[in-house]
Structure 1
Amino acid sequence: MKGTIGTFQAVLLVVSAIFPTAIVVLPIIIGKYLEQDSPLAVIFSGLIGLGIAWLIGTIIKATGGEPFLGWAGRKISPIFAVVIGILLLQYYMDLTTNVLRVYVNFIKDNMLLNTPTAITAVIIMLVTLYMINRGIEAISRINSIVNLMLLMVIPLYLWGLTKHIDLHRLLPIFDHSAASLTLASLTPIGWMSEVSVLLFIAPYFKFPQKGTFIGVIGIGLVTLGMFVEILMTLAVFGPQYMKNIAYPIFSTISIIQVGRFIENLDVLFISYWTMSVYMKLAIFMFATVQCFKQTFHIRNDRPYIVALSIVIITECLYTWREPEKLNIFNEEGRIIIFLLFNILLPLGILIWTRIKEPVIKRKEYKT
């Protein structure tokens, strides 16, 4: 069913597509290069992210709510649409695998220490498949509720850390070079480019012409959330702590006590984060399925969803068995993939259609 996601719901889908893994992965990478200047990388990558959101929104507006690969095939070539569809399918499967592995590693390190990794991965994917089966409208409604929980946590988070803040830990400012800022910003820019998932969700928007607004507001909220998180972590623990601890956001929240009613705020935040990762998995799994349907012109996708899930679980268990390799790839290798599939590919398609369109009009005029 088309036209079932409101603008506000779509904005929150952008937030959930980026924020849950960004708050776990990015602080360590940014802190490694910039230390107390880390908030500068968030601002810089956020500005670039707004440009990427504008690009994706422009394409969505051009499609007019039409499926992305169908539009590309009509405007450029059906063969070209199939080729890029296969490439994007591999990309979204790999990205879903990455999210699944990050979540599995967190569960393994902090909660289910003795549970086999395969069991954890299968259970998480079964929950994700159930959400996919309910449709994107149901996912967006649940996602809105999950993000409202975050709005409840943020005021308590800021108020609870007030007595622990030492602004001297943020000094000296502008102490790092432009090269360090660039290196620290590359990976966050890659994460911001995940806004391109809107290309496969846009056919379900009530107002596809608001694609740019949805992307820009979503990226703005993610940037604000990342800025606050990194700033507070630096002010409470300092730059050395942030770049050496695996999950700085959880350490920061764990020291907050709100009276006797809520002794530890980390319980609320972990509840939010757990649900938000499921939302992110559902969003990218949905994009994977949509990409598969549009590439191979499949109407009934249910027989294929299980097969796609098995491939994702297999890659999760065997390709990224060692967390160190996954961390290195997220820090150094994934930016190239993000740049290619989330920025250069959509930009190339948009330019190609803009160049080709006047040629077609001239031919029609002559005939």
Structure 2
Amino acid sequence: MKQKIGTLQASFLIVNAIVPTAIVVLPSIISTRLEQEGPFSIVISAGLGILIVLLVADLIKKSNGTPYIEWISKVSSPFVATFMGALILGHFIEETAIVLRQSINFISENVLLKTPFAVILLVMMIVSIYITSQGIEVMARVSSILVLLYILPIPIYMSGVADFNQFSRLLPIFEHSPNDFILGSLGPANWVSEVSFLLYIAPYLKSPERSRSIGFLSLSFTCIIILIIYVPTLLAFGPEYIKVLNYPGYTYSRLVHLGHAFENLNILFVSYWLLVSYIKLSFFLFVTLECFKQTLRIKENQLFYLLALALIISLESYYTWDTPDHLYKNNLENQFPGFMLVNFIFPLIIYAMSNIRQWKTRRKGFSSRE
């Protein structure tokens, strides 16, 4: 029996597939381009997210919850489906390796300073493989609990640093050119475009017809959480200091204190971030496995497929993204084309193909009546 997840569960799962790395990576990327006007980039990228949600929801409605790559085969051809599926699979293998590397870099630089990289990688992959093997329903239930727990750390995070906020650091407004705004929005757009995950979990939705609501809920939660983390960080440090910090959100959490009784509460940030990161990595593994099965038309859900993909991802993470600078440059400059191809252009092409197919079917129907 295929596991099914509800509307809120799906929304929270997508939120946790985007937010963990976004809140530690995006602030420095945004400030590099737009400095004090960085929050506008998140608003601009949200506009792209709305377009993707509308597109993805219409595709799911047309496919009636059919697996995405299988639906590509129906509206085009098996060759086109295999070709697109291979590109999508390659994209998710690379992105999962990047997610894994970002998580390990954060842990090794801020928490387990003397633990070998390979040990952290092994532990993270073993835990993530176990979570993925339990299925999407288990991931969705845990993810929902974690999103609800945002209620606890965010008020502490906001109130415990009020003394450091200086609103003058948001000025002047509209100092940058339109070209700067476009370039500065590319980074957030990469993360926001991942609302297209809906395409890959559509067969597991209890109500596929509510995919538009799921998309808008996940997009809203994602943008709000990123702004809640980024704007106070900008108020406290200013754009110039954020540029040189590897993890501005984490550095900001070290300022949190409530009187003299509660200090150094960054341990709450780290603990919570680790929990959510495991869900993010597990979900990426799950989607990668789904793409692999659909591309190669594999019906059975064998554990060794998951283990093989996890091995490939681990090796790429270990050898390809060998330095934090290499990874940062990739996040800043190189990711946008791949994200847009898989998350926007491919769905747009499939949407056009499905409309052409419907038009041809109707035309044949009219011809037969005549």
Same fold flag (TM > 0.5) = yes
Q: Deviations over 1:135-182 (max 9, x none)?
A: 000000011111122221111111112222111121112221111111
Partners of 2:3 and 2:137 within 8 A in 1: no
Partners in 2 of 1:141 and 1:264 — Cα distance?
A: 30
Give the aligned partner of residue 349 of structure 1. 350
Partners in 1 of 2:224 and 2:197 — Cα distance?
A: 20
Deviation at 1:75, TM superposition (A): 2.0
Partners in 2 of 1:196 and 1:122 — Cα distance?
A: 29
Give the aligned partner of residue 57 of structure 2. 57
Give the aligned partner of residue 225 of structure 1. 225
Partners in 2 of 1:321 and 1:233 — Cα distance?
A: 28
What letter matches 2:363 in structure 1?
Answer: R
Partners of 2:5 and 2:140 within 8 A in 1: yes
Partners of 1:27 and 1:242 within 8 A in 2: yes
Partners in 1 of 2:43 and 2:281 — Cα distance?
A: 26
What letter matches 1:208 in structure 2?
Answer: P
Partners in 2 of 1:342 and 1:230 — Cα distance?
A: 24
Alignment gaps of 5+ in structure 2: none
Verify: 1:113 aligned to 2:113, yes or no. Answer: yes
Partners in 1 of 2:73 and 2:105 — Cα distance?
A: 39
Partners of 1:289 and 1:301 within 8 A in 2: no
Partners in 2 of 1:58 and 1:269 — Cα distance?
A: 37
Partners in 2 of 1:269 and 1:149 — Cα distance?
A: 12
Q: 1:57 to 1:262 in 2, by over 3 A?
A: farther
Partners in 1 of 2:81 and 2:103 — Cα distance?
A: 32
Partners in 1 of 2:344 and 2:79 — Cα distance?
A: 21
For the residue of structure 2 that corresponds to 1:243, the secondary structure is helix
Partners in 1 of 2:2 and 2:62 — Cα distance?
A: 17
Give the aligned partner of residue 296 of structure 1. 296
Give the aligned partner of residue 336 of structure 1. 337
Q: 1:366 to 1:271 in 2, by over 3 A?
A: same
Partners in 1 of 2:58 and 2:117 — Cα distance?
A: 41
Deviation at 1:363, TM superposition (A): 2.2
Deviation larger for 132-141 or 241-250: 241-250
Partners in 2 of 1:204 and 1:234 — Cα distance?
A: 39
Partners in 1 of 2:62 and 2:18 — Cα distance?
A: 24
Q: Deviations over 1:60-114 (max 9, x none)?
A: 2222111111122122212211111111111111111010000111111112222
Partners in 1 of 2:160 and 2:108 — Cα distance?
A: 28
What letter matches 2:26 in structure 1?
Answer: L
What letter matches 2:323 in structure 1?
Answer: E
Give the aligned partner of residue 197 of structure 2. 197
Deviation at 1:3, TM superposition (A): 5.9
Runs (4+) off by over 6 Å: none
Deviation at 1:264, TM superposition (A): 3.0
Give the aligned partner of residue 257 of structure 1. 257
Deviation larger for 226-235 or 345-354: 226-235
Partners in 1 of 2:28 and 2:245 — Cα distance?
A: 7
For the residue of structure 1 that corresponds to 2:206, the secondary structure is coil
Deviation at 1:260, TM superposition (A): 5.9
Alignment gaps of 5+ in structure 1: none
Verify: 1:31 aligned to 2:31, yes or no. Answer: yes
Calculate the TM-score normalised by the size of structure 1.
Answer: 0.96
Partners in 2 of 1:109 and 1:315 — Cα distance?
A: 20
- Same amino acid, percent of matched pairs: 40
Give the aligned partner of residue 173 of structure 1. 173
Deviation larger for 154-163 or 256-265: 256-265
Q: Deviations over 1:273-328 (max 9, x none)?
A: 11111111111110011111111121133221111111000001101112211111
Give the aligned partner of residue 366 of structure 1. 367
Give the aligned partner of residue 182 of structure 2. 182
Partners of 2:161 and 2:257 within 8 A in 1: no
Partners in 1 of 2:40 and 2:185 — Cα distance?
A: 9
What letter matches 1:335 in structure 2?
Answer: F
In the alignment of these two chains, the number of paired residues is 367
Give the aligned partner of residue 306 of structure 2. 305
Partners of 1:194 and 1:342 within 8 A in 2: yes
Partners in 2 of 1:337 and 1:280 — Cα distance?
A: 19
Calculate the TM-score normalised by the size of structure 2.
Answer: 0.96
Give the aligned partner of residue 316 of structure 1. 317
Q: Deviations over 1:22-58 (max 9, x none)?
A: 1111111110111111111111111211211221122
